[in-house]
With several copies, the nearest count.
Chain A
Amino acid sequence: MGLFGKKKIASGVDTTTEAANTPDKVQPYAALGLKDDEYARIREILGRRPSSSELAMYSVMWSEHCSYKSSKIYLRQFGEKVTPEMNKNLMVGMGENAGVVDIGEGWAVTFKVESHNHPSYIEPFQGAATGVGGIVRDILTMGARPIAVMDQLRFGEPSNPDTARVVHGVVDGISFYGNCLGLPNIGGETVFDKVYQGNPLVNALSVGALRHEDLKLAKASNPGDLVILFGARTGADGIGGVSVLASETFDSTGPAKRPAVQVGDPFAEKVLIECCLELYAAQVVAGIQDLGGAGISCATSELASNGGAGMRVQLQDVLKRDESLTPEEILMSESQERMMGIVPKKDFKKFKAIVDKWEVEFSVIGEVIAEDRLYINWGHEEIVNVPPRTVAHDGPVYERPVAFPSYQDALNNDSVHAHGLFRQNDNASELAAQLVQIVSSPNQADKGYITNQYDRYVGGNTALAQPDDSGMIRVSEETGLGISLATDANGRYCYLDPYQGARLALAEAYRNVAVSGATPVAVTNCLNFGSPENPEVMWQFKQATAGLADGCLELGIPVTGGNVSFYNQTGDVAIHPTPVVGVLGVIDDVARRIPSGWQDAGHNIYLLGTTKDELDGSVWSEVVHSHLGGRPPVVDLAYEKQLAEALNAASEQGLLASAHDLSEAGLAQAVVESVLRFGMGARIWLDEIQQRDGVDRTCALFSESTGRVLVSVGREDDVKFVGLCEARGIPVLRIGVTDNSGELEIQDVATWQLNDLRGAHEATLPELFG
């Protein structure tokens, strides 16, 4: 018998009175994902058994996804490992829908990345589409106009037949939803690895801009204000999609078999965005919350809890798509494109005029009350009577067991050297073949097949987008003030060393922002891991969060928010730990942004930073040797900071014609991308790198040492630029020159026609998925 089976419907809903009168009634809390002690705590809080509606609310809100019960104790350090200086520009920190950063001139920016991994495996198109929709609503909720999106994708092996299904669905879904919302897609990540085969990762980031005074918070604090649900109607889709509550808990004799998938309507969301922005401008909402995971359960309890008040709600006043919905289902439905607004009574008329103009449906479902209690009625029957805080914020907190992985030492000892992969005096033709093999491998190949399905122009403010290192958007048309965003994560590095891996992701995103000419100011993250119930996974999580928090402290930029996605595994096999780190930068005038490729002949090419023998975990070890072991590259964040400052100074003085960071596949990849960006030829020599840094050609080409950037400089700025680097202690070495030859020559290795290289770099994904 299911939880909300027919019998109960026929005999009426399970009220709070009934709950008080039938203390011994057996409740299927376990099927809803609650542990014995959690259920006992609910009974203790309420002083009785919960009604079925209350049980539904607690179960979704106390799920891992909503309550962060396994991660909370680790996420705290993002708020603790900070200096006052770091928080100086933080208008809203962690814990709200999204962090808000003051970027100057009266402008603020809010940004966040979130996962939609599991839904995107079941139904890739809708899963990915609604992932975009959800994160955009988070941004909208802060009072901001969403201005761009990004997507971080991890797929299984390209050759596996199921991968194409997921790639097509996910990319189509993001394209469909993001394009239809009118938000430029300004970047992301695409990685293929067999560890993601049964558990692809679909993370989506959105960023929005607002004037300082327009900041909105999700709270209901003034008694008498109206609680209004507006946007799409509530339907049966997505019930339990977010939590451990699966559709099977509704048995076939129940109202209906409810699907866990949600269907997105980007048109409705676009209208909702414009409608909300008009509501904000008219100053008629006192508080607002989007409906995402846990639907009305989440919105009502969080608004009330955040505002230190309570709420009285009449659930029958919710507009439904399907009249057969039970109260429990209404509370849990994750139907998309809905918002909950708190509107003072005196402003209701204005509110109504605006939503009517946009043809957005709404209903007043309740009222804010002074008492900190959430009462929900179904007609005359009271079905929920709880302290909102206990639902929204006082969920369980776990200190899960942590164990150093049994495989870890062996893995770290199995370096490229130990494995005998590393050979001195590698011959030229072999290196040349490896270079082509690498730049045409699915992870290093051009991502145009995907990114060309995304609108990067809409809005007319896109200053940089794919394939550049970061995405950049103009915020102020008057002054050119803008922001830059990059995200990174390297699951292979994190598997080898989650602490370093997280710092490496941070360093790379930071560098990607810096090479665009912007100053990094804030961090967001989406922590994708396996099951928290596995102590070895928990160790990875603990290490990665510590690495990220320590790294942010060293760089002096705060984490403003983020998201945790656990249970990313197939059977017992977890994905590589994949903490996606996003860095936000600010630039005073996007007109001075730095291109990532070479566009003028006769410019000198400089390599900033030094190259070490660091091939463990590299693309070279993966693509050429199918090997993963050893330790990831070291990262020196103090130096990264200096490097960023040097780039910024050079950019401000207009010395840089281009800058491109070195990361996966090292110099080889960066050089190929730089020649192909605008089709400018180049001649590169490696011998001075080899001599200065004491590395061989394989390392010079493919080592993934951090802190390196490839820049091109016009002859007239040469002396000044080199002087600037030397004065700041940045190793600088001229390694080549651009030319109109239509060729890339890497001396003593090979010469390629750019067209051939382009063919190799661009054909891979279309051949696999086109």
Chain B
Amino acid sequence: MPKIIVEVMPKEVLLDPAGKSVMNALHRKGHSASKKSDITAVRIGKRIELHFDREITDKDLADAREIGESFLSNGVIEDVVKISSEN
């Protein structure tokens, strides 16, 4: 199904307690034991899919960026890091 994918991440300079807690859990668990400590940070954002029942146009992508920046993310604390489409 055609879709646009908008990816949103917490701003780099701000805290991401959810990411931090996942990282701590990973380290505690000793996940991927050998190199657990190689993961220096975990950050958790959103992947938002907008589904269409038709092909996606350039205009859709532009609109998605607009929606992404004005509504799907909060520019004070988040960034839209990627917008892509799959047909």
User: In the complex, A touching B, CB below 8 Å?
Assistant: yes
Residues of the B chain whose Cβ atoms lie less than 8 Å from the Cβ of A335: 15
Known: A123-B76, A259-B76, A359-B24. A237 touches B14 (CB 8 A): yes
CB under 8 Å from chain B, chain A span 82-127: 122-123, 125-126
Q: How many residues of B contact A (CB 8 A)?
A: 13
Among A125, A261, A359, contact of B14 (Cβ-Cβ < 8 Å):
A261
Question: How far apart sit A264 and B21, CA to CA, in the bound complex (Å)?
Answer: 13
Closest Cβ neighbor of A233 among chain B residues: B15
With an 8 A cutoff between CB atoms, is B85 at the interface? no
Q: List 19 A-B contacts (CB under 8 A).
A: A122-B76, A123-B76, A123-B77, A235-B14, A236-B13, A236-B14, A256-B13, A258-B13, A259-B14, A259-B77, A261-B14, A261-B76, A263-B77, A264-B17, A268-B17, A321-B15, A322-B13, A335-B15, A336-B15
Question: How far apart sit A122 and B17, CA to CA, in the bound complex (Å)?
Answer: 20
Pairwise interchain contact B77-A126, C-beta atoms closer than 8 A: yes
Rank and list the top 6 A-B pairs by shortest CB-CB distance, nearest first: A265-B17, A263-B15, A236-B13, A123-B76, A263-B14, A237-B14
User: When A and B form their complex, what is the total count of cross-chain residue pairs whose Cβ atoms lie within 8 Å?
Assistant: 43
With an 8 A cutoff between CB atoms, is A318 at the interface? no
Closest Cβ neighbor of B20 among chain A residues: A265
With an 8 A cutoff between CB atoms, is B73 at the interface? no
Closest Cβ neighbor of B76 among chain A residues: A123
Question: How far apart sit A236 and B14, CA to CA, in the bound complex (Å)?
Answer: 7
Closest Cβ neighbor of B16 among chain A residues: A263
Task: Mark each residue of chain B from 48 to 87: 1 if its CB lies under 8 Å from any CB of chain A, else 0.
Answer: 0000000000000000000000000010110000000000
Question: How far apart sit A261 and B10, CA to CA, in the bound complex (Å)?
Answer: 13
Residues of the A chain whose Cβ atoms lie less than 8 Å from the Cβ of B16: 263
With an 8 A cutoff between CB atoms, is A232 at the interface? yes
Closest Cβ neighbor of A260 among chain B residues: B76
Question: How far apart sit A336 and B16, CA to CA, in the bound complex (Å)?
Answer: 12
With an 8 A cutoff between CB atoms, is A267 at the interface? yes
CB under 8 Å from chain A, chain B span 8-63: 10-11, 13-17, 20-21, 24
Question: How far apart sit A265 and B16, CA to CA, in the bound complex (Å)?
Answer: 8
Residues of the B chain whose Cβ atoms lie less than 8 Å from the Cβ of A265: 15, 17, 20
Closest Cβ neighbor of A127 among chain B residues: B76
Known: A265-B20, A267-B21. A259 touches B15 (CB 8 A): no
Q: Smallest distance from the beta carbon of B69 to chain A beta carbons, Å?
A: 15
Residues of the A chain whose Cβ atoms lie less than 8 Å from the Cβ of B13: 235-237, 256, 258-259, 322
Question: How far apart sit A101 and B76, CA to CA, in the bound complex (Å)?
Answer: 40
Known: A267-B21, A359-B24. A261 touches B77 (CB 8 A): yes
Closest Cβ neighbor of B21 among chain A residues: A267
Question: How far apart sit A370 and B21, CA to CA, in the bound complex (Å)?
Answer: 40
Q: Smallest distance from the beta carbon of A178 to chain B beta carbons, Å?
A: 16
Pairwise interchain contact B15-A232, C-beta atoms closer than 8 A: yes
Question: How far apart sit A359 and B16, CA to CA, in the bound complex (Å)?
Answer: 17
Q: Smallest distance from the beta carbon of B53 to chain A beta carbons, Å?
A: 12
Pairwise interchain contact A123-B74, C-beta atoms closer than 8 A: yes
Question: How far apart sit A237 and B10, CA to CA, in the bound complex (Å)?
Answer: 12
Question: How far apart sit A237 and B21, CA to CA, in the bound complex (Å)?
Answer: 18
Residues of the B chain whose Cβ atoms lie less than 8 Å from the Cβ of A236: 13-14
Q: Smallest distance from the beta carbon of A262 to chain B beta carbons, Å?
A: 8
Q: Smallest distance from the beta carbon of A659 to chain B beta carbons, Å?
A: 41
Task: Mark each residue of chain A from 124 to 158: 1 if its CB lies under 8 Å from any CB of chain B, else 0.
Answer: 01100000000000000000000000000000000
Pairwise interchain contact A237-B74, C-beta atoms closer than 8 A: no
Residues of the A chain whose Cβ atoms lie less than 8 Å from the Cβ of B76: 122-123, 259, 261
Residues of the B chain whose Cβ atoms lie less than 8 Å from the Cβ of A263: 10, 14-17, 77
Question: How far apart sit A660 and B13, CA to CA, in the bound complex (Å)?
Answer: 49
Q: Smallest distance from the beta carbon of B71 to chain A beta carbons, Å?
A: 11
Residue among B16, B20, B21, B24 having the largest count of chain A Cβ atoms under 10 Å:
B20
Q: Smallest distance from the beta carbon of A338 to chain B beta carbons, Å?
A: 11
Residue among B13, B17, B21, B76 having the largest count of chain A Cβ atoms under 10 Å:
B13
Q: Smallest distance from the beta carbon of A42 to chain B beta carbons, Å?
A: 29
Pairwise interchain contact A235-B24, C-beta atoms closer than 8 A: no
Residues of the B chain whose Cβ atoms lie less than 8 Å from the Cβ of A267: 17, 21
Closest Cβ neighbor of A126 among chain B residues: B77
Task: Mark each residue of chain A from 235 to 274: 1 if its CB lies under 8 Å from any CB of chain B, else 0.
Answer: 1110000000000000000001011010111011000000
CB under 8 Å from chain B, chain A span 205-252: 232, 235-237
CB under 8 Å from chain B, chain A span 383-415: none
Residues of the B chain whose Cβ atoms lie less than 8 Å from the Cβ of A125: 74
Among A122, A235, A258, A359, contact of B15 (Cβ-Cβ < 8 Å):
A235
Residue among B11, B14, B21, B76 having the largest count of chain A Cβ atoms under 10 Å:
B14
Known: A122-B76, A123-B77, A359-B24. A237 touches B17 (CB 8 A): no
Question: How far apart sit A335 and B16, CA to CA, in the bound complex (Å)?
Answer: 12
Q: Smallest distance from the beta carbon of B25 to chain A beta carbons, Å?
A: 11
Residues of the B chain whose Cβ atoms lie less than 8 Å from the Cβ of A256: 13
Closest Cβ neighbor of A123 among chain B residues: B76
Q: Smallest distance from the beta carbon of A84 to chain B beta carbons, Å?
A: 47
Closest Cβ neighbor of A256 among chain B residues: B13
Closest Cβ neighbor of A266 among chain B residues: B17
Residues of the A chain whose Cβ atoms lie less than 8 Å from the Cβ of B10: 263
Q: Smallest distance from the beta carbon of A121 to chain B beta carbons, Å?
A: 11
Residues of the A chain whose Cβ atoms lie less than 8 Å from the Cβ of B24: 359
Residues of the B chain whose Cβ atoms lie less than 8 Å from the Cβ of A359: 24
Q: Smallest distance from the beta carbon of A128 to chain B beta carbons, Å?
A: 13
Residues of the B chain whose Cβ atoms lie less than 8 Å from the Cβ of A235: 13-15
Closest Cβ neighbor of A236 among chain B residues: B13
Q: Smallest distance from the beta carbon of A756 to chain B beta carbons, Å?
A: 29
Residues of the A chain whose Cβ atoms lie less than 8 Å from the Cβ of B74: 123, 125
Task: Mark each residue of chain A from 611 to 646: 1 if its CB lies under 8 Å from any CB of chain B, else 0.
Answer: 000000000000000000000000000000000000
Residues of the A chain whose Cβ atoms lie less than 8 Å from the Cβ of B14: 235-237, 259, 261, 263
Question: How far apart sit A122 and B75, CA to CA, in the bound complex (Å)?
Answer: 11
Residues of the B chain whose Cβ atoms lie less than 8 Å from the Cβ of A232: 15
Question: How far apart sit A123 and B75, CA to CA, in the bound complex (Å)?
Answer: 10
Q: Smallest distance from the beta carbon of B35 to chain A beta carbons, Å?
A: 21
Residues of the B chain whose Cβ atoms lie less than 8 Å from the Cβ of A264: 17
CB under 8 Å from chain B, chain A span 313-338: 321-322, 335-336
Q: Smallest distance from the beta carbon of A389 to chain B beta carbons, Å?
A: 32
Question: How far apart sit A19 and B77, CA to CA, in the bound complex (Å)?
Answer: 36
Residues of the B chain whose Cβ atoms lie less than 8 Å from the Cβ of A258: 13
Question: How far apart sit A263 and B16, CA to CA, in the bound complex (Å)?
Answer: 8
Residues of the A chain whose Cβ atoms lie less than 8 Å from the Cβ of B20: 265
